[in-house]
Structure 1
Amino acid sequence: MADHGVATRAPESDAHESATPGESSDERGPAMSEHCTTDRPTPSGETPRGEIRLLGGIDIYLTKPESYPSNPSKLLLLLTGGTGLKSTNNQIQADKFASEGYVVVMPDLFDGDPAPNSAAVPESETLVTSFLDTFKLKAAETAKSFLLDMWMARHAEEKVMPILEKVIHACKGEFADAVGNGGGIYAVGYCIGGRYVLLLAGERIDSHTSWTGAQKQPDEEAGEGQGPTKKGPYIKAGALAHATLVSPEDFLGLKSPVSLVCVEHDPVFPDEIRIAGEDAMSKSNLEHEVQVYPGVPHGFAVVGDYDDVNIKEAQLTAHEQMLKWLNEH
């Protein structure tokens, strides 16, 4: 289902439309938004209250309800965009879920290497007055695209999924009470992290090939034979906002119910991919919901300050949508 009345068009929604007039999205380089790699200003007066520590050999941000472990809680993975583990806004986002009764584990998906800052050039600097100014601006944009390409190559699925598998295994040990209380692990994801919610919600064929492509030896004690085995789903339910780098194939094999927060006419999560995903989920009878938010920029659901009241309200609505889905599953 889609809701086209959540917000109205605002000037800040143009922040992600950084292409030169006449330039297509395919010509802009990688399918990444500035909002995936750059934080908005942190809302005044808000500071993180969790801690960064190791879990399963992976750096995580851990935040818990004040009443935990006295009162039962559930275990939630929060998967970030390119701004990563040390982003103050991401940490505050995790705290918001913790205040609602979740033990939140936010893993460092990028092994200490967040995306290069690709903040949009301030408007005052885009008023070029000469061919040389135009050339310099284009060169800077090309350099940003190149850095993002290199960064994405360093943090492909083959690198990120093993990190998640380690964290999930460790969560089942250290936070067995929370995992058991929720009947499994829940997950929310934003931007790049949104795609990994889909991957964790799916059932995949494991042909005994590691994520790096190396052939693995079957574990005879675990009952593994020579043929392919199934892996996943890893989560009980998931919610994702303005996902990035998603392909239609990522919706195949989904087994866990998912809720999607989408941006209308999102250049990095195009309508055709969203529609293909909705069709795939409907055909497989997967429980799901899709809400489309007009007039907001990609990345709007992550904690961050906006001047436009409509974007602020949409941000709250998106959080409530994701939280309600988790609570109901």
Structure 2
Amino acid sequence: MPLELIADRPGHAVLSSYQEPPLAPDEIRVQSLFSSVKHGTELRGFRADTPDASDRWDGELRLHRRGESATSGFPRRLGNMCLGAVVQVGAEVTTLREGDRVFAHLPIRETHTIAATRVQKAPDGISPQAIMYWDPADFAVGAVRDGAVRLGDRVAVFGLGAIGLMVAQAARLCGARWVAVVDPIERRRAAALRHAADLALDPVAMDAGLEIKQHTDKIGADIVFETSGSYRAFEDAMRATCYAGTLVSTAYYHGEQGLRLAGEWHRNRIQVISSRACSEPLPQASWNFARIREESLALLVEGHLQADDLIDPIAPFAAAADAYQEIDQHPERSIKLGIDHG
């Protein structure tokens, strides 16, 4: 029987067998070639240690119901994106044929039996690694649009997971003159320097807010992005923002540290924007999430956003469970996990 990567309980990944369903007339069967993980959102669910687990989200009221636990959510499938080859086509499917390479938001498993309308054909010449960055590119494009980066702006990006790395590149595409990045993980800082960053700072070794002020004529960055979900990073991001500047957060914050809103917040008139590209309606009426997804994919296909070297590490499917535990327990050893189905 084929295998899939699941969490059978909080914090524990395992390969588990599943039964392949019969193929419906409007469906295709896909053999997985390459898959990836969404570290931030997905690991929250994997750990089940945030308000999403302890305080049920009420979609109608758009708030957490304190003290009302959500359903357990386990077992749960793991993984976020898959590139595969079509190996079987339903009788009513006319848009695809066996051998076509397709991709979609799908979990990590050996095969997928899904409606043909749920997948897209992979463009010629694009790498599996670039396709895996379609999701983080969506939220990066949304963030730079929300932050309204302009020609000549000085930009700082706090947090260099997949979204942060894409934000740094997207800000440069929007015309940023100078881009600083901040992350405690050296391999992520090195990746940003290869692509878009002028300055990379380790917030553990130095005062990142002070350093950015000193590198910008004591002014600060015009627009600062916080993508890590760390309260400490949010505080440092405020300290790096210029007077009346803009701080854009794409993150979900949790934990017990809390947030200190001291002098930088009280005195500097900082505009804070919560950015989530798929939360609709978007601020600009002519844009929706579908348009953002089209744009982010086009930027990857055209090579304006570069991600070929940003899937790190890459593990074979047989080692997927161990690799998943590794990124959870040792985030310093990864940027974005890729799974090669071989």
- Does TM-score exceed 0.5, indicating one fold? no
Higher strand share: 2
Higher helix share: 1
Higher relative contact order (CA 8 A, sep 6+): 1
